[in-house]
Structure 1
Amino acid sequence: MRAVEAVMECLKAEGVEVVFGLPGGANIPTYDALYDGGIRHILVRHEAGGGHAAEGYAKATGKVGVSLGTSGPGATNLVTPIMDAMMDSVPVVFITGQVKTELLGTDGFQEADVIGITMPAVKHSIMIQHPNEIPRALHEAFHIARTGRPGPVVVDIPTDLSRVDIPYEPITDVHLPGYQTFTEGNAKQIRQAAKALAAARRPVIYGGGGIINSNAAAEFTEFCRTDRFPVTCTLMGLGAYPAPDPQWLGMLGMHGTRAANYAMDEADLICCIGARFDDRITGKLSEFAPRAKFIHVDVDPAEISKNIPAHIPIVGDAKNVLVKLIAEYRALDTEAHRLDEWWQRIDGWQKQYPIEKSFTDSEDTEIKPQRLIQAVYEATGGDAIITSDVGQHQMWTAQHYPFKAPRQWINSGGLGTMGFGLPAAMGAAIGCPDKTVVCITGDGSFQMNTQELATCAQEGIPVKVIISNNGYLGMVRQWQELFWEKRYSNVDLGRFPDFVKLAEAYGCHGVRLTDKTTLVDDLKAAIATPGPVVVDVSVTREENTYPMISPGAAARDMVG
């Protein structure tokens, strides 16, 4: 069969049911094979939209997403989704077309060194040099993308090689001697961790996106409840532990709760599972958790002690390690009331600084953006899949929408990609058609991939887009206000475009909301409307996201 027909067989063998992409000259053979290949294809309007849609699909389902692009600009348009997937450990296989082999290195039309360009941004990349390599290369790409620490893999296929007839045989084994994953965790170190937790007087359990990636939310919750451990999660880990809950401190980090950040600051032991101590968590690194010892569980050995030295390092998959850690901890004799004093201190912070009081609601009908997020929670019953873009609305959603379950919260964390929300919502809606999918976005972020409304309309993807519209690049404006003497430089977006008319032009339903007194009912009506819907919500123009750890400051010095 043709090599591109073998590509279809490989995708089906890997369980792929849908791919996201855009055809061009160099990948026309692939699209010809798709014509009757038995795999659903979503035609996006920009390759970046296809890449982010594949991410949203992967994050919502736990399966490997697939994104297709042609050579040259088609491939370079995928660089941002590739880097985004790398930063957030998302399993996506990107299949790019390439110019004919005889044109490689000649600066041919739409030629780009895709492997060189993406090398710093991928978990692995494969340049096809012989058509017979294609089946094994694709299966290796899926294996690498989904195992160990998940991540993006690029497979670059020259167009002439994709058209060649090859002797195809199904690949049933993938053996990569140079690729090692460590998933079980060291038994001795796990036992040490259990003993350290039993001896701690001020412990905190700190979870990240690795828990969700390893489908370990149930084990994580069970572990936290083996004792009265205080629990906090990163932005990417929200949903790993059900919120609200008596042991839940809220999110930690730059815009986390005071209770979570103060507890981290005063803890004597921090058990980190599936997170990486990034700068948005630690604040000033030299001032981070000065009284604590650290247990660090991560499937990626490169993350252990990268930023914070681990006293008990455990390299392993979160699910596997947690099962063993639960058993070890339950086998110990623990002092029944040793955490009482610690919880009294935490309860004091929670009562003094509840996240609900981090803003003052309006006295008239004006909609505060924080109130908008609370209203979305009420309108959805807390059961929707929520995607977001990046900025103030993202942090307000993390603060004011309590996530009950994993894979319910899909956003761009590490790279912070504006324009992520709408295409990610498309991917999530296709992967989970029985779920309500809501994209919470800002007027700045939304305009970066607005064109995917056409994809939603054409494909009948019923995403509900809620725009927190303040007419600003809000987070940049906040930083200019707080740290740059309110010198607002190029952050005023005005009131352009008319999002209701734009939605209608794309074949979607549009509605504008301005009154907080009817907000919940109006949102319920919009969410119940069939098909894709855009809800333009006018919110307070200059509202800041608090609380906040200022850049370069310690957690104990939160403001707002």
Structure 2
Amino acid sequence: MNGARWLVQALAAEGVDTLFGYPGGAIMPFYDALHGAASSGHAMKHVLVRHEQGAAFAANGYARASGQVGVCVATSGPGASNLVTGIADAMLDSVPMVVITGQVPTTLMGTDAFQELDVFGMTLPIVKHSFLARSVDDLSRMLGEAFRIARSGRPGPVLIDLPKDVQNGDASHLPMHAPLPVERAPAPMDASLHAALALVSQAQRPVVYGGGGIALGDAVQAFRTFVDATQIPSVLTLRGLGALPTGHPLNLGMLGMHGSRAANLAVQESDLLIVVGARFDDRATGKLAEFAPNARVVHMDLDACEIGKLRHADVGVRGDIRATLTALTLPCAAHLHGRNGAFRRQWRATCQQRARDHAARYDAPGDSVYAPALLKQLSERAPRAVVACDVGQHQMWVAQHWRFSDPRQHLTSGALGAMGFGLPAAIGAQLQDPDAQVICVSGDGSFLMNVQELATLKRYGLPVKIVLLDNQALGMVRQWQELFFDKRYSEVDLSDNPDFAAVATAFGIHALHVDRADRVDNALQALLDSPGPALLHVAIDQAANVWPLVPPNHNNAQMLDADEATSLLIGNAPHLSPPKDASHAISA
């Protein structure tokens, strides 16, 4: 029983059934222990990815889809550094992960040994906690703490750096591993609940603003009960989509840079924002100084650091979000249906009418494929699918037009905005539930960043369906260069893309192609009917843009659609002025 074998048994005791990794010199004892576990009939499923970034994103997708801790493994040096983007994504989107890296023996640490990197120091800003084992005796404490920290409070990634001699050291004296309990989230204080109720009772134009913390706090049902009981119009962030079903009568849609007009106008005109598990991200708020200028704020969050960080909270309610919503539902409903009830009914009717007036249209003219219509149609054909997105225009089209019914259906790199996320995240989601229908929506730029993971799909026979929207450009950057950089298109041309269907076929993946709107229906059905992994290559217009759009340095009421953008470019949009500096924000 060496350290590596003890670690494998301890991972099994923590409930780990799947891990993603790529072997190398400094982590070889751990892989030998995995082989030994397989020989004894006590195997965890190890998924061999084709790049360590794929391992981190796959573990990330596994955790997002399941709510459980994702685990990835890599060797020292470049293996560890290739994990960094996936670790950062997990930190910024609060995804529970345990990351295990090999390290050179302790006797060589600090000598610039072969494949030595200070991964402990490199990752300090992007993990909840880091561990560097100095002896076998450290393992028992470290592993239990790593999983406890990753799961507890606001979830996130934890790193364990394992020198090779620690993996090989005698661990026969170590006790059997037992998982540590996770502390219960603190209950909200009564005083903060009473203060929140007082603000709610006075509001005439309240809006609920829901974010990713709803799913993280296992509060989806409590959130829906609160909205149904209070009948308050609601908006959602990118990470909050699905907390209310898309068709819910009080769901005004996503707010922010590419949010719906109904959502953005409601927030801008509100007199009270009830913020549930959201952090006032700049993509949601637009120009922060002009965001919801007349609204007081009730901010509910488990993480005290988020309350008041960017926007003053008139009332901060720190604690378990599910308990907070449950405690406030009946009292808020009673107050809202009493005094000022007529004002609130008129406000609700106004918000709902705007949602109808500004509903998306899908009757685009011409023969070419209209991406929003294709995505809406696919979501209706696969209503329970888990969707893993990459980053760019297609990510925003999915957010706007897919009909989500649960937040864990939507896997997307929110805060980091990491291209290359979609395919490996879809692999992780499929492996956490082999019976789930998993769809990866990607763009031609993002797809090539981790295209090697097609080999992982093929090896494990995972029935992930890939929809590749190909406009032969870095679409979101091109859109910004068109609108805000005087059409100075710089390094966005991808017209030399490979034949993606041929690439997929070379990996042994069934491939289809569609480039006409009248053939989309049959193409989608053929994709979904494919028994194993399959790719649908969709050729779309390079000039297609994502609308609406809030320009940088403008508030969310100053949205552009295609016609307004044309007016802006020729100087005929009096309610908008070109931003002085658009360079601070390019990707969505």
User: TM class, shorter-chain normalised?
Assistant: over 0.9
Which string of whole-angstrom CA distances, capped at 9 and with x for unpartnered residues, describes residues 373-429 of structure 1?
12222332x221111000000000000012012300000000000000000000001
| Structure 2 match to 1:316 | 319
- Whole-angstrom CA distance in 2 between matches of 1:40 and 1:175: 25
| Structure 1 match to 2:388 | 387
Please, which of 31, 41, 45 is the counterpart of residue 40 of structure 1?
45
- Whole-angstrom CA distance in 2 between matches of 1:171 and 1:162: 16
- Whole-angstrom CA distance in 2 between matches of 1:185 and 1:125: 30
2:515 aligned partner, one-letter code: T
1:372 aligned partner, one-letter code: L
User: Shift of the alpha carbon at 1:525?
Assistant: 1.3
- Whole-angstrom CA distance in 2 between matches of 1:527 and 1:36: 39
Correspondence 1:474-485 to 2 at 5 A: 474-485=475-486
- Whole-angstrom CA distance in 1 between matches of 2:522 and 2:148: 46
| Structure 1 match to 2:539 | 538
Which string of whole-angstrom CA distances, capped at 9 and with x for unpartnered residues, describes residues 257-276 of structure 1?
01101111010000111110
Q: Does 1:102 align with 2:107?
A: yes
User: Shift of the alpha carbon at 1:199?
Assistant: 2.3
Which string of whole-angstrom CA distances, capped at 9 and with x for unpartnered residues, describes residues 450-482 of structure 1?
000000100111111100110000000000000
Q: Does 1:225 align with 2:228?
A: yes
Native 8 Å contact 2:378 2:524 kept in 1? yes
Please, which of 185, 200, 204 is the counterpart of residue 203 of structure 2?
200
Native 8 Å contact 1:3 1:134 kept in 2? yes
Q: Classify the secondary structure of the residue corresponding to 2:297.
A: strand
| Structure 1 match to 2:583 | none
Q: Which stretch of the first structure deviates more once superposed, 153-162 or 332-341?
A: 332-341
- Whole-angstrom CA distance in 1 between matches of 2:87 and 2:236: 25
Which string of whole-angstrom CA distances, capped at 9 and with x for unpartnered residues, describes residues 287-320 of structure 1?
0110000011111111111100111101112222
Native 8 Å contact 1:148 1:317 kept in 2? no
User: Shift of the alpha carbon at 1:549?
Assistant: 0.8
| Structure 2 match to 1:154 | 159
Native 8 Å contact 2:252 2:352 kept in 1? no
Q: Classify the secondary structure of the residue corresponding to 2:46.
A: strand
Correspondence 1:181-192 to 2 at 5 A: 183-192=186-195
Q: Does 1:266 align with 2:269?
A: yes
Correspondence 1:14-163 to 2 at 5 A: 14-37=14-37, 38-163=43-168
Which string of whole-angstrom CA distances, capped at 9 and with x for unpartnered residues, describes residues 212-270 of structure 1?
11221111000111121101110001111111111110011110001101111010000
* TM-score, with length taken from structure 2: 0.92
* TM-score, with length taken from structure 1: 0.96
Which string of whole-angstrom CA distances, capped at 9 and with x for unpartnered residues, describes residues 161-195 of structure 1?
1111111213446489xxx8853111221222123
User: Shift of the alpha carbon at 1:136?
Assistant: 1.8
Native 8 Å contact 2:388 2:410 kept in 1? yes
| Structure 1 match to 2:448 | 447
Query: Aligned residues: percent identity?
Result: 45
| Structure 2 match to 1:509 | 510
Native 8 Å contact 1:98 1:156 kept in 2? yes
User: Shift of the alpha carbon at 1:339?
Assistant: 1.1
- Whole-angstrom CA distance in 2 between matches of 1:98 and 1:111: 7
Q: Which stretch of the first structure deviates more once superposed, 445-454 or 316-325?
A: 316-325
Q: Classify the secondary structure of the residue corresponding to 1:366.
A: coil
User: Shift of the alpha carbon at 1:553?
Assistant: 0.7
- Whole-angstrom CA distance in 1 between matches of 2:379 and 2:168: 51
Native 8 Å contact 1:182 1:315 kept in 2? no
- Whole-angstrom CA distance in 2 between matches of 1:366 and 1:110: 50
Native 8 Å contact 2:230 2:333 kept in 1? no
1:34 aligned partner, one-letter code: L
Please, which of 358, 370, 374 is the counterpart of residue 372 of structure 1?
374
Native 8 Å contact 1:514 1:538 kept in 2? yes
- Whole-angstrom CA distance in 1 between matches of 2:492 and 2:505: 27
Native 8 Å contact 1:369 1:540 kept in 2? no
Q: Which stretch of the first structure deviates more once superposed, 226-235 or 340-349?
A: 340-349
| Structure 1 match to 2:176 | 170
Where in structure 2 are there 5+ consecutive unaligned residues? 38-42, 562-588
| Structure 1 match to 2:577 | none
Native 8 Å contact 2:265 2:557 kept in 1? yes
| Structure 2 match to 1:552 | 553
Correspondence 1:421-432 to 2 at 5 A: 421-432=422-433
1:460 aligned partner, one-letter code: G
Native 8 Å contact 1:71 1:110 kept in 2? yes
- Whole-angstrom CA distance in 2 between matches of 1:461 and 1:172: 32
Please, which of 293, 296, 308 is the counterpart of residue 293 of structure 1?
296
Native 8 Å contact 2:232 2:348 kept in 1? no
| Structure 1 match to 2:5 | 5
- Whole-angstrom CA distance in 2 between matches of 1:175 and 1:526: 44
| Structure 1 residues 172 and 378: alpha-carbon distance in aligned structure 2, compared to 1, 3 A threshold | closer
Correspondence 1:345-364 to 2 at 5 A: 345-354=350-359, 356-357=360-361, 361-363=364-366
Native 8 Å contact 2:239 2:414 kept in 1? yes
- Whole-angstrom CA distance in 1 between matches of 2:314 and 2:160: 39
Q: Classify the secondary structure of the residue corresponding to 2:451.
A: coil
- Whole-angstrom CA distance in 2 between matches of 1:329 and 1:350: 24
